[in-house]
Amino acid sequence: MNKTTLQIKMLYNKMGSAEKRIADWLMENPGKIISLSISELAEQCGCGEATLVRFARRLGFGGYQELKISFAREDGSAKTADGISAEDSCFQIFEKVSEDIYCSLEMTKNSLDAQNLETAAKAIMNGKRIMIYGLGNSAAVALDFQHKLMRLGYNAVSFCDNHMQSISASHLTKKDVVIGISHSGSSKDIVDAVKIAKQNGATTISITNNGKSPIVKQSDIALYTASNETKYSILGLNSRIAQLAIINAIYYYISCQDKNSSKTIKTTEESLQSKKF
Amino acid sequence: MNKTTLQIKMLYNKMGSAEKRIADWLMENPGKIISLSISELAEQCGCGEATLVRFARRLGFGGYQELKISFAREDGSAKTADGISAEDSCFQIFEKVSEDIYCSLEMTKNSLDAQNLETAAKAIMNGKRIMIYGLGNSAAVALDFQHKLMRLGYNAVSFCDNHMQSISASHLTKKDVVIGISHSGSSKDIVDAVKIAKQNGATTISITNNGKSPIVKQSDIALYTASNETKYSILGLNSRIAQLAIINAIYYYISCQDKNSSKTIKTTEESLQSKKF
DNA sequence: TCATATATGAAAATAATTTTCAACAGTTAT
DNA sequence: ATAACTGTTGAAAATTATTTTCATATATGA
């Protein structure tokens, strides 16, 4: 599946009935748009030309022509990513997983607030200590974040022990920053620890897939991922990748903004040299 | 070089001076035609619109539009993902990171051997014990893998302590499976541990970005990621995501193939219920 | 040199696209 | 329930793009 098709599917629910008809026609007739003018397509879809222009704009194009060209670029051979089944080879599953990851990243682009992201990155840069809490699935993400921040020379620690999380949170001050990671946003222990940190005046950041979750109430800054994985799993596998993408973005942002970072990164690399063949 | 470009070169000698000017401009400005109207391009080439229409017809197209679309289709390499700079907002960086992740996944699709992937997944399913080794960056990936396999009810353990890695490897048998994760493939301790495991007869699997690395020599099965990140980092951030995608694929594959898994996943979920709000 | 064939671009004709606007549907506030 | 608001829609107008026509220019070969 290509980028444009993907985007159409993502925005489908937000479309009006005429736009949905357009989306449906495009899905059912892959590649055909390329040889049609706006009036011809309007007739096919039973809508006005204006609606087609709006449709194109909504997808981020300048107009109908650009939409058409985008379809031409991205090849008509539209693969449709179905669910994963027992007949699939492991490689086919890999392809589907890639597709879903891509989809989740696009969705996260919509749900992630640019201002919050920037504020969170700056808070981390100014924090005296950075505490990162995650459990289960999110523990690996927390560890990844700690690792990256340490490479940049920051005083970052991650905990995947709920006692340690609460203990560490209880000793924080308003100079410190806490990052709570929970896909559901409802992990009791993480919420507790973040709450304690907030009571102590620390800046609290949460990374979650659920906007209406308890962790958000305890957060000064909430970073939302998005993913459509009800299909074949309760596990938020794709939102996890989106979390990592957010972490990568923050990492790069800090490494660009922080003037010491290039030196620090070099120091890190040097320290690891002897560990390699 | 694409079909249309080739044809233009073939017919070049038969063209008049104005048409040659068009051909020259197109060669010097690859891809630019896509965003230009016929009048704009006519001005660029210093010729009349009519000449452009004739030019397109001569190449076998119905008109200017078709020529334009043909260029759009054949010019896949027009991705303009720049590097990350200090002027970028954190959100812009997130967008670039997403783009790179997508790119890396596509590249990995090419470098990953379907047969090896399947073999690795089956070996894991049949392994008595699964040992996963990673250090630094790769420790988080190893932890993630362990977590997923445990959810499926497998006897999986990850170590990010080089002593524990070697110790555990020294006690393995040919019924066991070892997974060594190293972006560079040159991490001494990981290679050592995998080597020990291999000497003991365990099935060894490696996940790495480097086909010609020491770890591959110690592996029965090598799974290669791919990524282009020389641009702004030594860290293999994107290959890391590709590693996780491989892990996700294996997870789903096993959960489809292993008949007990749905029960096990349910048990896992139940065990976590009390931890949530 | 001249007749013929071909190439060219300005302008006219046609077609495609975009904008405007009024009607309408659904939602929220009063 | 009603008013005010918000967003969707397509017909028609306005704009822009493309194609055709045609007069002129240029080259070719007898």
For residue range A59-79, what is the model confidence (pLDDT) as tens digits?
888 889 888 888 887 754 434
- Who wins on pLDDT, A169 or B260? A169
- Who wins on pLDDT, A91 or A261? A91
Q: Tell me what pLDDT residue A78 has.
A: 37
Pick from A84, A114, A265: which is nearest to B256 by CB?
A84
Number of C-beta neighbours around residue A273 at 10 A: 7
pLDDT band of A1, cuts 50, 70, 90 = low
Considering only residues 15-54 of chain B, list those whose CB is below 7 Å from strand C: 15-20, 46-51, 54
Q: What is the DSSP letter of B47?
A: S
Residue of B nearest to A225 (CA): B94
Burial of B54 from C-beta contacts in 10 A (0-12 / 13-18 / 19+)? middle
How does pLDDT run across A114-125, given as a tens digit for each residue? 889 999 999 999
Pick from B95, B140, B257: which is nearest to A144 by CB?
B140
A177/B243 Cα distance (integer angstroms): 29
Q: Tell me what pLDDT residue B154 has.
A: 93
Q: Tell me what pLDDT residue A175 has.
A: 95
Look at B277 and A94 and tell me if their CB atoms are within 8 Å.
Answer: no
Look at A140 and B135 and tell me if their CB atoms are within 8 Å.
Answer: no
CA of B58 to C1' of D7 (A): 48
Determine whether the distance from the CB of B16 to the nearest atom of strand D is below 7 Å.
no
B193/B131 Cα distance (integer angstroms): 10
pLDDT exceeds 90 at position B198: yes
Pick from A117, A137, A269: which is nearest to B94 by CB?
A117
What distance in Å separates residue A185's CA from the closest CA in chain B?
Answer: 9
Q: Tell me what pLDDT residue B185 has.
A: 85
Taking residues B148-166, report their average pLDDT. Answer: 92
Determine whether the distance from the CB of B96 to the nearest atom of strand D is below 7 Å.
no
Determine whether the distance from the CB of A19 to the nearest atom of strand D is below 7 Å.
yes
Is residue A250 within 8 Å of residue A230, measured between CB atoms? no
Q: Taking CB atoms and an 8 Å cutoff, what residues of chain A touch B40?
A: none
Strand D contact nucleotides, protein CB < 7 Å: 7-13, 16-22
Determine whether the distance from the CB of B64 to the nearest atom of strand D is below 7 Å.
yes
Residue in A248, A255, A260 to test binding to B, most B beta-carbons within 10 Å? A248
DSSP assignments along chain A, one per residue: --HHHHHHHHHGGG--HHHHHHHHHHHHSTTGGGG--HHHHHHHHTS-HHHHHHHHHHTT-SSHHHHHHHHHHT-S---------TTS-HHHHHHHHHHHHHHHHHHHHHHS-HHHHHHHHHHHHH-SSEEEE--THHHHHHHHHHHHHHHTT--EEEE--HHHHHHHHHT--TT-EEEEEESSS-BHHHHHHHHHHHHTT-EEEEEES-TTSHHHHT-SEEEE-----TTT-SS-HHHHHHHHHHHHHHHHHHHHH-TTHHHHHHHHHHHHHTTB-
pLDDT band of B234, cuts 50, 70, 90 = low
Q: Tell me what pLDDT residue A236 has.
A: 65
Question: Which helix (DSSP H) or strand (DSSP E) does residue B156 occupy?
Answer: strand B156-159
pLDDT exceeds 70 at position B9: yes
CA of A21 to C1' of D26 (A): 54
Domains and CATH numbers, chain A: 3-73 (1.10.10.10), 109-272 (3.40.50.10490)
A53/A38 Cα distance (integer angstroms): 8
Question: B149-153, B235-239, B267-271 — which is least confidently predicted?
Answer: B235-239
Residue in A91, A165, A254 to test binding to B, most B beta-carbons within 10 Å? A91
CA of B56 to C1' of C2 (A): 34
B241/B99 Cα distance (integer angstroms): 12
Determine whether the distance from the CB of A51 to the nearest atom of strand D is below 7 Å.
yes
What distance in Å separates residue B85's CA from the closest CA in chain A?
Answer: 7
CA of A50 to C1' of C19 (A): 9
Number of C-beta neighbours around residue A82 at 10 A: 9
Pairing of strands B221-224, B203-208: parallel
- Tokens 């997130």 appear where? B94
Hey, which of A197-206, A250-259, B15-24, B34-43 has the most confident mean pLDDT? A197-206
Sheet of B221-224: strands edge to edge?
B156-159, B130-133, B177-182, B203-208, B221-224
Pick from A88, A117, A137: which is nearest to B147 by CB?
A137
How much is the mean pLDDT over chain B? 84
CA of B17 to C1' of D26 (A): 11
Look at A244 and B244 and tell me if their CB atoms are within 8 Å.
Answer: yes
Q: Tell me what pLDDT residue A199 has.
A: 94
Residue of B nearest to A37 (CA): B65
